[in-house]
Structure 1
Protein backbone atom coordinates (compact mmCIF):
# COMPACT_ATOMS: atom_id res chain seq x y z
CA UNK A 1 0.00 0.00 0.00
CA UNK A 2 1.44 3.35 -1.01
CA UNK A 3 0.51 6.99 -1.61
CA UNK A 4 2.30 8.97 -4.32
CA UNK A 5 2.69 12.74 -4.00
CA UNK A 6 3.47 13.91 -7.50
CA UNK A 7 4.49 17.26 -8.93
CA UNK A 8 3.71 19.08 -12.16
CA UNK A 9 6.23 18.37 -14.90
CA UNK A 10 9.52 16.55 -14.50
CA UNK A 11 10.82 15.89 -10.98
CA UNK A 12 14.61 15.50 -10.90
CA UNK A 13 14.57 14.42 -7.26
CA UNK A 14 12.33 12.11 -5.26
CA UNK A 15 12.07 10.99 -1.66
CA UNK A 16 10.97 7.61 -0.35
CA UNK A 17 9.51 7.71 3.17
CA UNK A 18 10.32 4.41 4.90
CA UNK A 19 7.98 4.05 7.87
CA UNK A 20 8.73 2.68 11.33
CA UNK A 21 6.53 -0.04 12.80
CA UNK A 22 4.10 -0.53 15.66
CA UNK A 23 3.29 2.48 17.81
CA UNK A 24 5.97 4.55 16.08
CA UNK A 25 4.15 4.01 12.78
CA UNK A 26 0.87 5.21 14.27
CA UNK A 27 2.45 8.27 15.89
CA UNK A 28 4.39 9.37 12.79
CA UNK A 29 1.59 8.94 10.23
CA UNK A 30 0.61 12.61 10.41
CA UNK A 31 4.15 14.01 10.22
CA UNK A 32 4.98 11.71 7.28
CA UNK A 33 1.96 13.06 5.43
CA UNK A 34 2.91 16.65 6.28
CA UNK A 35 6.46 16.02 5.13
CA UNK A 36 5.30 14.53 1.84
CA UNK A 37 2.97 17.48 1.21
CA UNK A 38 5.63 20.08 1.97
CA UNK A 39 8.22 18.38 -0.25
CA UNK A 40 5.78 18.03 -3.15
CA UNK A 41 5.10 21.75 -2.89
CA UNK A 42 8.84 22.27 -3.45
CA UNK A 43 8.82 20.13 -6.58
CA UNK A 44 10.12 16.95 -4.89
CA UNK A 45 8.02 13.88 -5.66
CA UNK A 46 7.39 11.62 -2.67
CA UNK A 47 6.14 8.09 -2.08
CA UNK A 48 4.76 6.96 1.28
CA UNK A 49 4.15 3.24 1.75
CA UNK A 50 3.57 0.49 4.32
CA UNK A 51 5.44 -2.80 4.46
CA UNK A 52 3.43 -5.94 3.88
CA UNK A 53 1.66 -6.90 7.10
CA UNK A 54 1.81 -3.37 8.52
CA UNK A 55 -0.23 -0.19 8.35
CA UNK A 56 -2.74 -0.28 5.50
CA UNK A 57 -0.96 -3.01 3.57
CA UNK A 58 -2.35 -6.52 3.32
CA UNK A 59 -0.88 -9.37 5.33
CA UNK A 60 -0.61 -10.61 8.89
CA UNK A 61 1.47 -8.42 11.21
CA UNK A 62 2.66 -11.58 12.95
CA UNK A 63 4.36 -12.55 9.69
CA UNK A 64 6.63 -9.50 9.51
CA UNK A 65 9.99 -10.37 7.99
CA UNK A 66 13.14 -8.24 7.70
CA UNK A 67 13.98 -9.37 4.16
CA UNK A 68 10.40 -8.76 3.04
CA UNK A 69 10.62 -5.20 4.39
CA UNK A 70 13.84 -4.62 2.46
CA UNK A 71 12.20 -6.02 -0.67
CA UNK A 72 9.25 -3.67 -0.15
CA UNK A 73 11.65 -0.70 0.05
CA UNK A 74 13.26 -1.77 -3.23
CA UNK A 75 9.87 -2.15 -4.90
CA UNK A 76 8.66 1.20 -3.58
CA UNK A 77 11.80 2.98 -4.80
CA UNK A 78 11.38 1.42 -8.24
CA UNK A 79 7.75 2.55 -8.34
CA UNK A 80 8.75 6.08 -7.36
CA UNK A 81 11.30 6.22 -10.17
CA UNK A 82 8.82 4.92 -12.74
CA UNK A 83 6.03 7.30 -11.71
CA UNK A 84 8.18 10.41 -11.43
CA UNK A 85 11.05 9.83 -13.82
CA UNK A 86 13.38 11.20 -11.14
CA UNK A 87 17.08 10.47 -11.51
CA UNK A 88 17.87 10.47 -7.79
CA UNK A 89 15.97 9.20 -4.75
CA UNK A 90 16.58 10.23 -1.14
CA UNK A 91 15.71 7.67 1.52
CA UNK A 92 14.05 8.89 4.71
CA UNK A 93 13.15 6.86 7.77
CA UNK A 94 12.31 7.27 11.45
CA UNK A 95 13.30 4.85 14.20
CA UNK A 96 13.28 1.30 12.78
CA UNK A 97 12.27 2.77 9.42
CA UNK A 98 15.63 4.54 9.49
CA UNK A 99 17.41 1.29 10.17
CA UNK A 100 15.58 -0.41 7.32
CA UNK A 101 16.35 2.46 4.94
CA UNK A 102 20.01 2.17 5.90
CA UNK A 103 20.00 -1.60 5.38
CA UNK A 104 18.30 -1.26 1.98
CA UNK A 105 20.50 1.60 0.73
CA UNK A 106 23.10 -0.46 -1.19
CA UNK A 107 20.47 -2.36 -3.18
CA UNK A 108 18.17 0.64 -3.73
CA UNK A 109 20.87 3.10 -4.75
CA UNK A 110 19.73 6.01 -2.61
CA UNK A 111 21.48 9.25 -3.49
CA UNK A 112 21.25 10.39 0.13
CA UNK A 113 19.81 9.25 3.47
CA UNK A 114 17.97 11.35 6.05
CA UNK A 115 17.45 9.31 9.22
CA UNK A 116 15.37 10.47 12.17
CA UNK A 117 16.50 8.80 15.42
CA UNK A 118 17.37 5.64 13.47
CA UNK A 119 17.73 2.27 15.17
CA UNK A 120 21.37 1.26 14.77
CA UNK A 121 21.53 -1.50 17.38
CA UNK A 122 18.68 -3.97 17.11
CA UNK A 123 19.40 -5.74 20.41
CA UNK A 124 19.26 -2.43 22.26
CA UNK A 125 16.01 -1.56 20.52
CA UNK A 126 14.45 -4.90 21.48
CA UNK A 127 15.48 -4.30 25.10
CA UNK A 128 13.86 -0.84 25.00
CA UNK A 129 10.64 -2.24 23.55
CA UNK A 130 10.57 -4.97 26.19
CA UNK A 131 11.03 -2.38 28.94
CA UNK A 132 8.29 -0.16 27.51
CA UNK A 133 5.99 -3.18 27.21
CA UNK A 134 6.65 -4.12 30.83
CA UNK A 135 5.87 -0.56 31.90
CA UNK A 136 2.65 -0.60 29.89
CA UNK A 137 1.61 -3.85 31.59
CA UNK A 138 1.45 -2.00 34.92
CA UNK A 139 0.22 1.37 33.66
CA UNK A 140 -3.02 2.41 35.43
CA UNK A 141 -3.86 4.89 32.67
CA UNK A 142 -4.27 2.01 30.22
CA UNK A 143 -5.53 -0.84 32.43
CA UNK A 144 -7.72 -0.91 35.52
CA UNK A 145 -5.49 -3.69 36.87
CA UNK A 146 -1.97 -4.78 35.95
CA UNK A 147 -1.96 -7.30 33.12
CA UNK A 148 -0.31 -10.63 33.78
CA UNK A 149 2.91 -11.51 32.00
CA UNK A 150 1.00 -14.14 30.05
CA UNK A 151 -1.64 -11.64 28.90
CA UNK A 152 1.05 -9.25 27.64
CA UNK A 153 3.31 -11.87 26.11
CA UNK A 154 4.21 -11.61 22.42
CA UNK A 155 3.41 -7.89 22.18
CA UNK A 156 5.19 -4.58 21.89
CA UNK A 157 2.99 -1.68 23.01
CA UNK A 158 -0.22 -3.24 21.79
CA UNK A 159 1.12 -4.78 18.58
CA UNK A 160 1.77 -8.52 18.20
CA UNK A 161 5.37 -9.54 17.62
CA UNK A 162 6.49 -12.97 16.50
CA UNK A 163 9.64 -14.69 17.81
CA UNK A 164 10.90 -14.60 14.20
CA UNK A 165 10.58 -10.81 13.88
CA UNK A 166 11.96 -10.29 17.37
CA UNK A 167 15.08 -12.30 16.52
CA UNK A 168 15.56 -10.51 13.20
CA UNK A 169 15.36 -7.06 14.80
CA UNK A 170 17.71 -8.12 17.60
CA UNK A 171 20.27 -9.24 15.02
CA UNK A 172 20.37 -5.86 13.24
CA UNK A 173 23.65 -3.94 13.49
CA UNK A 174 24.02 -0.84 11.36
CA UNK A 175 26.79 -0.39 8.85
CA UNK A 176 27.24 3.05 7.25
CA UNK A 177 25.94 3.49 3.73
CA UNK A 178 28.36 4.89 1.18
CA UNK A 179 26.13 7.88 0.51
CA UNK A 180 25.76 11.29 2.22
CA UNK A 181 23.82 10.72 5.42
CA UNK A 182 22.07 13.20 7.69
CA UNK A 183 20.93 12.08 11.16
CA UNK A 184 18.14 14.12 12.74
CA UNK A 185 18.63 13.63 16.47
CA UNK A 186 15.78 14.25 18.90
CA UNK A 187 17.15 11.89 21.56
CA UNK A 188 19.67 14.39 22.99
CA UNK A 189 22.55 12.00 22.28
CA UNK A 190 25.62 13.46 24.06
CA UNK A 191 28.14 14.69 21.48
CA UNK A 192 26.43 12.50 18.87
CA UNK A 193 28.04 9.46 20.54
CA UNK A 194 24.91 7.43 19.96
CA UNK A 195 25.38 7.83 16.22
CA UNK A 196 29.09 7.02 16.16
CA UNK A 197 28.84 4.17 13.61
CA UNK A 198 27.50 6.70 11.09
CA UNK A 199 29.43 9.76 12.24
CA UNK A 200 32.75 7.95 11.89
CA UNK A 201 31.85 7.34 8.24
CA UNK A 202 31.10 11.02 7.64
CA UNK A 203 27.43 11.37 8.56
CA UNK A 204 26.26 14.78 9.74
CA UNK A 205 24.08 15.10 12.84
CA UNK A 206 21.59 17.92 13.45
CA UNK A 207 19.53 18.40 16.60
CA UNK A 208 15.75 18.55 16.46
CA UNK A 209 13.94 20.36 19.23
CA UNK A 210 11.80 19.62 21.05
CA UNK A 211 12.82 15.99 21.20
CA UNK A 212 10.60 12.93 20.91
CA UNK A 213 10.17 10.45 23.74
CA UNK A 214 9.29 7.38 21.68
CA UNK A 215 8.57 5.23 24.73
CA UNK A 216 6.48 7.75 26.70
CA UNK A 217 3.52 5.60 27.78
CA UNK A 218 1.36 8.67 28.38
CA UNK A 219 1.64 9.72 24.74
CA UNK A 220 1.24 6.39 22.94
CA UNK A 221 -1.98 7.49 21.27
CA UNK A 222 -0.72 11.00 20.44
CA UNK A 223 0.50 12.01 17.00
CA UNK A 224 4.02 13.41 16.98
CA UNK A 225 4.08 17.11 16.15
CA UNK A 226 7.53 18.00 14.85
CA UNK A 227 7.66 21.27 12.91
CA UNK A 228 11.44 21.38 13.35
CA UNK A 229 11.71 18.07 11.49
CA UNK A 230 9.92 19.56 8.50
CA UNK A 231 12.31 22.50 8.51
CA UNK A 232 15.44 20.38 8.79
CA UNK A 233 14.41 17.93 6.07
CA UNK A 234 13.32 20.67 3.68
CA UNK A 235 16.63 22.48 4.22
CA UNK A 236 18.58 19.28 3.55
CA UNK A 237 16.61 18.54 0.40
CA UNK A 238 17.05 22.11 -0.85
CA UNK A 239 20.82 21.70 -0.53
CA UNK A 240 20.68 18.38 -2.40
CA UNK A 241 18.48 19.64 -5.25
Structure 2
Protein backbone atom coordinates (compact mmCIF):
# COMPACT_ATOMS: atom_id res chain seq x y z
CA UNK A 1 0.00 0.00 0.00
CA UNK A 2 1.39 3.39 -1.03
CA UNK A 3 1.73 5.79 1.97
CA UNK A 4 0.35 9.30 2.05
CA UNK A 5 2.18 11.75 -0.23
CA UNK A 6 5.04 13.90 0.99
CA UNK A 7 3.57 17.40 1.26
CA UNK A 8 6.13 20.21 1.23
CA UNK A 9 6.83 23.77 0.11
CA UNK A 10 9.40 24.10 -2.65
CA UNK A 11 11.49 27.30 -2.46
CA UNK A 12 11.04 29.58 -5.46
CA UNK A 13 12.47 32.88 -6.68
CA UNK A 14 12.01 36.01 -4.61
CA UNK A 15 11.63 34.12 -1.34
CA UNK A 16 8.38 32.57 -2.51
CA UNK A 17 7.32 28.95 -2.24
CA UNK A 18 5.24 26.42 -4.16
CA UNK A 19 3.08 23.78 -2.53
CA UNK A 20 4.01 20.30 -3.79
CA UNK A 21 2.86 16.74 -3.19
CA UNK A 22 5.20 13.88 -4.02
CA UNK A 23 3.77 10.39 -4.45
CA UNK A 24 6.56 7.81 -4.17
CA UNK A 25 6.11 4.25 -5.44
CA UNK A 26 7.46 1.16 -3.76
CA UNK A 27 10.71 0.06 -5.35
CA UNK A 28 12.48 1.59 -8.34
CA UNK A 29 10.15 3.93 -10.28
CA UNK A 30 9.17 2.98 -13.82
CA UNK A 31 8.93 6.70 -14.63
CA UNK A 32 8.59 10.12 -13.04
CA UNK A 33 5.48 12.17 -13.74
CA UNK A 34 4.85 15.89 -13.25
CA UNK A 35 1.19 16.89 -13.03
CA UNK A 36 0.26 20.38 -14.24
CA UNK A 37 -3.21 21.49 -13.23
CA UNK A 38 -5.79 23.31 -15.37
CA UNK A 39 -6.74 26.98 -15.28
CA UNK A 40 -8.54 28.83 -12.47
CA UNK A 41 -11.63 27.08 -11.05
CA UNK A 42 -11.04 24.01 -13.24
CA UNK A 43 -8.08 23.29 -10.95
CA UNK A 44 -10.32 23.06 -7.89
CA UNK A 45 -12.94 20.93 -9.65
CA UNK A 46 -10.17 18.52 -10.73
CA UNK A 47 -8.34 18.13 -7.42
CA UNK A 48 -10.11 14.92 -6.41
CA UNK A 49 -9.55 13.26 -9.78
CA UNK A 50 -5.90 14.33 -9.83
CA UNK A 51 -5.32 12.98 -6.30
CA UNK A 52 -6.87 9.60 -7.14
CA UNK A 53 -4.90 9.34 -10.37
CA UNK A 54 -1.63 10.21 -8.62
CA UNK A 55 -2.20 7.46 -6.05
CA UNK A 56 -3.10 4.97 -8.77
CA UNK A 57 0.06 5.80 -10.71
CA UNK A 58 2.20 5.50 -7.58
CA UNK A 59 0.62 2.11 -6.86
CA UNK A 60 1.56 1.10 -10.41
CA UNK A 61 5.21 2.06 -9.86
CA UNK A 62 5.43 5.70 -11.01
CA UNK A 63 6.80 8.63 -9.01
CA UNK A 64 4.39 11.57 -9.29
CA UNK A 65 4.85 15.22 -8.32
CA UNK A 66 1.99 17.73 -8.09
CA UNK A 67 2.70 21.45 -7.90
CA UNK A 68 0.44 24.44 -7.28
CA UNK A 69 1.66 27.03 -9.76
CA UNK A 70 2.38 30.61 -8.72
CA UNK A 71 -0.76 32.33 -7.49
CA UNK A 72 -2.71 29.07 -7.37
CA UNK A 73 -3.85 26.94 -4.44
CA UNK A 74 -1.54 27.30 -1.46
CA UNK A 75 1.49 28.61 -3.36
CA UNK A 76 2.85 32.14 -2.96
CA UNK A 77 1.40 35.26 -4.61
CA UNK A 78 -2.06 36.15 -5.83
CA UNK A 79 -3.52 34.81 -9.06
CA UNK A 80 -3.39 38.33 -10.51
CA UNK A 81 0.39 38.45 -9.91
CA UNK A 82 1.20 35.34 -11.95
CA UNK A 83 2.43 35.30 -15.54
CA UNK A 84 2.82 32.52 -18.09
CA UNK A 85 6.61 32.80 -17.78
CA UNK A 86 6.25 32.41 -14.00
CA UNK A 87 4.40 29.16 -14.60
CA UNK A 88 7.02 27.95 -17.07
CA UNK A 89 9.67 28.67 -14.42
CA UNK A 90 7.60 26.61 -11.96
CA UNK A 91 7.64 23.69 -14.39
CA UNK A 92 11.43 23.81 -14.51
CA UNK A 93 11.57 24.09 -10.73
CA UNK A 94 9.36 21.02 -10.37
CA UNK A 95 11.35 19.04 -12.96
CA UNK A 96 14.54 19.76 -11.05
CA UNK A 97 12.90 18.55 -7.85
CA UNK A 98 11.78 15.34 -9.57
CA UNK A 99 15.30 14.82 -10.93
CA UNK A 100 16.72 15.14 -7.42
CA UNK A 101 14.26 12.61 -6.02
CA UNK A 102 14.23 10.24 -9.01
CA UNK A 103 17.50 10.58 -10.96
CA UNK A 104 17.09 7.64 -13.34
CA UNK A 105 13.65 7.40 -14.93
CA UNK A 106 11.90 8.70 -18.06
CA UNK A 107 9.97 11.93 -17.52
CA UNK A 108 6.30 12.43 -18.32
CA UNK A 109 4.66 15.86 -18.32
CA UNK A 110 0.98 15.35 -17.53
CA UNK A 111 -1.25 18.27 -18.38
CA UNK A 112 -5.00 18.58 -17.84
CA UNK A 113 -6.80 21.03 -20.12
CA UNK A 114 -4.73 24.27 -20.18
CA UNK A 115 -2.04 22.43 -18.22
CA UNK A 116 -1.28 20.65 -21.48
CA UNK A 117 -0.53 23.98 -23.14
CA UNK A 118 2.03 24.64 -20.42
CA UNK A 119 3.84 21.36 -21.10
CA UNK A 120 4.20 22.01 -24.84
CA UNK A 121 7.52 23.81 -24.73
CA UNK A 122 11.09 22.85 -25.61
CA UNK A 123 12.53 21.97 -22.21
CA UNK A 124 15.96 21.13 -23.60
CA UNK A 125 15.65 17.50 -22.52
CA UNK A 126 13.70 14.37 -23.49
CA UNK A 127 10.12 14.37 -22.21
CA UNK A 128 6.95 12.40 -22.86
CA UNK A 129 3.48 13.92 -22.72
CA UNK A 130 0.29 12.72 -21.06
CA UNK A 131 -2.61 14.88 -22.14
CA UNK A 132 -5.98 14.82 -20.41
CA UNK A 133 -8.58 16.60 -22.57
CA UNK A 134 -5.94 19.02 -23.88
CA UNK A 135 -6.84 22.52 -25.00
CA UNK A 136 -5.27 23.08 -28.41
CA UNK A 137 -5.20 26.87 -28.36
CA UNK A 138 -4.49 29.29 -25.55
CA UNK A 139 -6.46 31.95 -27.39
CA UNK A 140 -9.55 29.75 -27.24
CA UNK A 141 -8.85 28.93 -23.58
CA UNK A 142 -8.73 32.64 -22.73
CA UNK A 143 -11.95 33.33 -24.62
CA UNK A 144 -13.73 30.52 -22.81
CA UNK A 145 -12.57 31.89 -19.47
CA UNK A 146 -13.66 35.45 -20.27
CA UNK A 147 -17.06 34.16 -21.39
CA UNK A 148 -17.71 33.10 -17.79
CA UNK A 149 -18.11 36.79 -16.95
CA UNK A 150 -20.36 37.28 -19.97
CA UNK A 151 -22.61 34.48 -18.76
CA UNK A 152 -22.85 35.95 -15.26
CA UNK A 153 -23.73 39.41 -16.61
CA UNK A 154 -26.15 38.27 -19.28
CA UNK A 155 -29.14 37.96 -16.95
CA UNK A 156 -28.85 41.63 -16.07
CA UNK A 157 -28.42 42.70 -19.68
CA UNK A 158 -24.96 44.09 -18.99
CA UNK A 159 -23.01 41.76 -21.29
CA UNK A 160 -23.13 43.95 -24.41
CA UNK A 161 -19.62 44.99 -25.36
CA UNK A 162 -18.19 43.36 -22.25
CA UNK A 163 -15.82 41.01 -24.08
CA UNK A 164 -14.18 43.88 -25.96
CA UNK A 165 -14.05 45.90 -22.77
CA UNK A 166 -12.20 43.13 -20.94
CA UNK A 167 -9.77 42.66 -23.83
CA UNK A 168 -9.11 46.41 -23.87
CA UNK A 169 -8.40 46.40 -20.13
CA UNK A 170 -6.00 43.48 -20.45
CA UNK A 171 -4.24 45.04 -23.45
CA UNK A 172 -3.72 48.18 -21.37
CA UNK A 173 -2.01 46.13 -18.67
CA UNK A 174 -4.91 46.14 -16.24
CA UNK A 175 -6.39 43.09 -14.53
CA UNK A 176 -10.01 41.98 -14.96
CA UNK A 177 -12.26 40.13 -12.53
CA UNK A 178 -13.74 36.89 -13.88
CA UNK A 179 -15.69 34.32 -11.84
CA UNK A 180 -13.91 35.28 -8.63
CA UNK A 181 -10.43 35.33 -10.20
CA UNK A 182 -8.49 38.51 -10.89
CA UNK A 183 -6.74 37.84 -14.20
CA UNK A 184 -3.61 39.88 -14.86
CA UNK A 185 -2.54 40.99 -18.32
CA UNK A 186 0.78 39.11 -18.20
CA UNK A 187 -0.95 35.78 -17.61
CA UNK A 188 -3.68 36.53 -20.14
CA UNK A 189 -1.22 37.43 -22.92
CA UNK A 190 0.96 34.39 -22.22
CA UNK A 191 -2.01 32.05 -22.24
CA UNK A 192 -3.38 33.62 -25.42
CA UNK A 193 -0.10 32.99 -27.25
CA UNK A 194 0.23 29.36 -26.14
CA UNK A 195 -0.31 26.56 -28.64
CA UNK A 196 -0.35 22.78 -28.24
CA UNK A 197 2.36 22.26 -30.85
CA UNK A 198 5.23 19.74 -30.86
CA UNK A 199 8.62 21.09 -29.78
CA UNK A 200 11.87 19.53 -28.65
CA UNK A 201 13.08 15.98 -29.20
CA UNK A 202 10.26 13.60 -30.17
CA UNK A 203 9.06 11.10 -27.58
CA UNK A 204 5.75 9.53 -26.63
CA UNK A 205 2.33 11.16 -26.32
CA UNK A 206 -0.65 9.57 -24.58
CA UNK A 207 -3.70 11.62 -25.59
CA UNK A 208 -6.87 10.91 -23.58
CA UNK A 209 -10.21 12.63 -24.08
CA UNK A 210 -13.50 12.04 -22.30
CA UNK A 211 -16.98 11.54 -23.72
CA UNK A 212 -20.30 10.45 -22.25
CA UNK A 213 -21.24 8.83 -25.59
CA UNK A 214 -20.42 5.16 -26.07
CA UNK A 215 -19.13 5.44 -29.64
CA UNK A 216 -17.52 8.86 -29.65
CA UNK A 217 -14.68 9.85 -31.95
CA UNK A 218 -12.01 12.50 -31.79
CA UNK A 219 -12.97 15.83 -33.30
CA UNK A 220 -11.39 16.81 -36.64
CA UNK A 221 -9.48 19.57 -34.82
CA UNK A 222 -7.98 17.03 -32.40
CA UNK A 223 -7.14 14.69 -35.26
CA UNK A 224 -5.33 17.50 -37.09
CA UNK A 225 -3.34 18.40 -33.99
CA UNK A 226 -2.40 14.76 -33.38
CA UNK A 227 -1.23 14.44 -36.98
CA UNK A 228 1.07 17.45 -36.51
CA UNK A 229 2.66 15.72 -33.54
CA UNK A 230 3.10 12.53 -35.55
CA UNK A 231 4.55 14.43 -38.50
CA UNK A 232 7.12 15.91 -36.07
CA UNK A 233 8.24 12.38 -35.13
CA UNK A 234 6.26 11.84 -31.93
CA UNK A 235 4.65 8.47 -31.19
CA UNK A 236 1.06 9.40 -30.39
CA UNK A 237 -1.64 7.11 -29.04
CA UNK A 238 -5.07 8.73 -28.75
CA UNK A 239 -8.08 7.30 -26.92
CA UNK A 240 -11.63 8.32 -26.13
CA UNK A 241 -12.57 7.32 -22.59
CA UNK A 242 -16.07 7.01 -21.16
CA UNK A 243 -16.66 9.69 -18.54
CA UNK A 244 -17.94 13.13 -17.63
CA UNK A 245 -15.99 16.39 -17.96
CA UNK A 246 -15.27 16.63 -14.23
CA UNK A 247 -13.39 19.95 -14.51
CA UNK A 248 -16.60 21.79 -15.48
CA UNK A 249 -19.37 20.10 -13.47
CA UNK A 250 -21.28 21.95 -10.75
CA UNK A 251 -20.56 19.16 -8.25
CA UNK A 252 -17.30 17.24 -7.84
CA UNK A 253 -17.43 14.34 -10.30
CA UNK A 254 -15.08 11.45 -11.06
CA UNK A 255 -14.13 9.57 -14.22
CA UNK A 256 -12.72 6.23 -12.96
CA UNK A 257 -12.18 4.85 -16.46
CA UNK A 258 -9.80 7.72 -17.22
CA UNK A 259 -7.62 6.77 -14.27
CA UNK A 260 -7.55 3.12 -15.32
CA UNK A 261 -6.65 4.03 -18.92
CA UNK A 262 -3.93 6.38 -17.70
CA UNK A 263 -2.26 3.72 -15.56
CA UNK A 264 -2.41 1.26 -18.46
CA UNK A 265 -1.04 3.81 -20.92
CA UNK A 266 2.02 4.59 -18.81
CA UNK A 267 2.63 1.05 -17.60
| Same fold, judged at TM 0.5 (above) | yes
1:198 aligned residue = 226
Query: Normalising to structure 1: TM-score of the pair?
Result: 0.83
Count of residues in Structure 1 that have an aligned counterpart in Structure 2: 225
Question: Does residue 75 of structure 1 match 2:93?
Answer: yes
In 2: Cα distance, 1:29 partner to 1:191 partner: 25
Q: Distance in 2 between matches of 1:41 and 1:130?
A: 39
In the alignment, is residue 137 of structure 1 matched against residue 170 of structure 2?
Answer: no
Instruction: Tell whether 2:187 aligns with 1:165.
Output: yes
Root-mean-square deviation over aligned CA pairs: 2.5
Among residues 16, 36, 54, which one is paired with 1:36 in the alignment?
Answer: 54
Unmatched runs of 5 consecutive residues or more in structure 2: 1-18, 167-175, 231-235
Structure 2 contact 65–98 (Cα < 8 Å) conserved: yes
| CA deviation profile, 1:2-54 (whole Å, cap 9, x unmatched) | 01111233224111111112111001111111111111111111101111111
* Equivalent residues in 2 for 1:46-61, closer than 5 Å: 46-61=64-79
CA distance in 2, matches of 1:7, 1:191: 33
Structure 2 length-normalised TM: 0.76
Compared with structure 1, are the counterparts of its residues 192 and 109 closer, same or farther at alpha carbon in structure 2 (3 Å cutoff)? farther
Q: Which has the larger radius of gyration?
A: 2
Whether the aligned pair in 2 keeps the contact of 1:183 and 1:206 (CA below 8 Å) is yes
Offset, 1:215: 5.0
Q: 1:181 aligns with which of 179, 182, 205?
A: 205
1:122 aligned partner: 138
Measure, in 2, the Cα distance between the counterparts of 1:108 and 1:24: 29
Are positions 1:15 and 2:66 aligned together?
no
1:107 aligned residue (123, 126, 131):
123
Equivalent residue in structure 1 for 2:102, among 70, 79, 84: 84
Asked if the contact 2:130–2:207 (Cα under 8 Å) also holds between the matched residues in 1, the reply is yes
1:96 aligns with 2:114: yes
Distance (Å, rounded) in 1 between the aligned partners of 2:112 and 2:131: 6
Unaligned runs of 5+ in 1: 140-145
Determine whether 1:207 maps to 2:207.
no
- d(CA) in 2 for partners of 1:17 and 1:86? 18
